[in-house]
Amino acid sequence: MPIFAILIVFAISFYIFYKVKYHRTKKPMEKQWLSAKSSMALGMFVFFFGLNQLFMFRSTLAAVIAVIFALVGLGSTWAGYKAYQHYLPFAAREAKEHSKTS
């Protein structure tokens, strides 16, 4: 299905984007916040990849592996979202303090 291919490309693009931003920043809380966002993007990549495999290949083994990929992707996305929620106020406070000193 072409929609899954497009979503896979978007997810991996966001992962790369957030990883580059992660390595460029010096603020520790912003690093954790960006790491959580990249974890969500990577989880979505694995999830969409699993769904794509589920619809492309019709064997039992492919279906089992695709479901495992989808579940791992959803778990990673959920864990990244929880980390994102946790670090967001700290990153906002850090950015606010940084803007006052600059």
Report how many domains make up the chain: 1
Q: 35 lies in which domain range?
A: 12-101
Digit-coded pLDDT (tens) for 57-98 = 888 999 999 999 999 999 999 999 999 999 999 999 998 988
5 lies in a domain?
Answer: no
Q: Rounded CA gap, 31 and 102, in Å?
A: 19
Q: What is the C-alpha end-to-end distance of the chain, expressed in Å?
A: 49
Please say if the pLDDT value at position 15 is more than 80: yes
58 lies in a domain?
Answer: yes
Per-residue pLDDT at 102: 64
6 lies in a domain?
Answer: no
63 lies in a domain?
Answer: yes
SS3 letters for 9-78? HHHHHHHHHHHHHHHHCCCHHHHHHHHHHHHHHHHHHHHHHHHHHHHHCCCHHHHHHHHHHHHHHHHHHH
Please say if the pLDDT value at position 40 is more than 90: yes
Asked if 10 contacts 81 with a C-beta cutoff of 8 angstroms, the reply is: no
